Amino acid sequence: MKDQARVLGIDDGPFVKGIGRAALAGVLVCPPGYVEGVMISSCQVDGDDANQAIVGMVRDSRYSEQVRMIMVDGAAMGGFNVVDVRALSQELGVPVLTISRDEPDMAAIRSALMTHFPDWERRYEIVSRNRVRPVEVPDGRVFVTSEGIEDREADAMVRRCTVRGCLPEPVRLAHLVATALMRGESRGRA
């Protein structure tokens, strides 16, 4: 990936479980940390419109032609509104990565989906489709899945975008913006 490639980090803000919509923030960064722009959208809490919300966020933005990679904080937005990284990568024509601080507990995810969703098998298939791998960063490691790019290149971009701490700047900044949208100020582990 070229040195000046812009990376869009996406995270959801705090939400009420099972009710309403979750705010989504997107922060477009020229690595390692120069902010190019901010985008806002929303998705249904525990719904199935996360991909539509992200596609709309990108396509309706004046920055749409600049986005060369998307990094999503986790595999779902607004609870269990699962992000289909394969479909998202194909639709937008850019690599899509999920970034998690902690290794996903697939057994717990499967159990939660089985308990709460009649379409749990579809959601679980999407979440478990891509192999989760650890990526070492300066202050620890994160867990990454990727689509539309080779693992080695994706991992290098995660490292390149990580300024301090464990999270790549696009995702860290998206977390701060999404939290501030809902709480009036940013807080939490970012």
The pLDDT tens digits of the residues spanning 65-115 come to: 999 999 999 999 999 999 999 999 999 999 999 999 999 999 999 999 999
> Alpha-carbon distance 154 to 131, whole Å?
13
Closest CA to 98 of 131, 52, 55, 146: 146
Structure tokens at 181: 């949208």
Whether pLDDT at 26 is above 70: yes
Q: What is the pLDDT averaged over residues 43-65?
A: 97
Amino acid symbol at 100 = S
Strands 140-147 and 133-137: antiparallel
Locate 136 and state its tokens: 């070492």
Q: Nearest 10 degrees: CA dihedral of 75, 169, 92, 124?
A: 0
* Average pLDDT over every residue of 104-128: 96
Residue 143 in this model has a pLDDT that exceeds 80: yes
- Joined together, the tokens standing for residue 22 give 């979750």
SS3 38: strand
Mean pLDDT of 127-150: 96
Does pLDDT of 128 surpass 70? Answer: yes
Which pLDDT score, from 0 to 100, does residue 87 have?
Answer: 98
Mean pLDDT of 35-44: 96
Mean pLDDT, residues 8-14 taken together: 95
- Which pLDDT belongs to residue 32? 87
Check residue 2 and give its pLDDT.
65
- Bridge-partner residues for 44, per DSSP? 21
Token pair belonging to 80: 């269990």
The pLDDT score that the predictor gives to residue 189 is 66
Contacts of 65 (CB under 8 A, 6+ apart): none
Q: Beta-strand (E) ranges in the chain?
A: 6-12, 21-30, 34-44, 67-73, 76-77, 81-82, 96-100, 133-137, 140-147
Q: Which tops the pLDDT comparison, 190 or 86?
A: 86
What is the widest separation between alpha-carbon atoms in the chain? 45
Region of residue 54 (left: phi > 0; alpha: psi -120 to 50; beta: else): alpha
pLDDT at 5: 86
Cis peptide before 14 (omega within 30 of 0): no
Mean pLDDT of the chain: 94
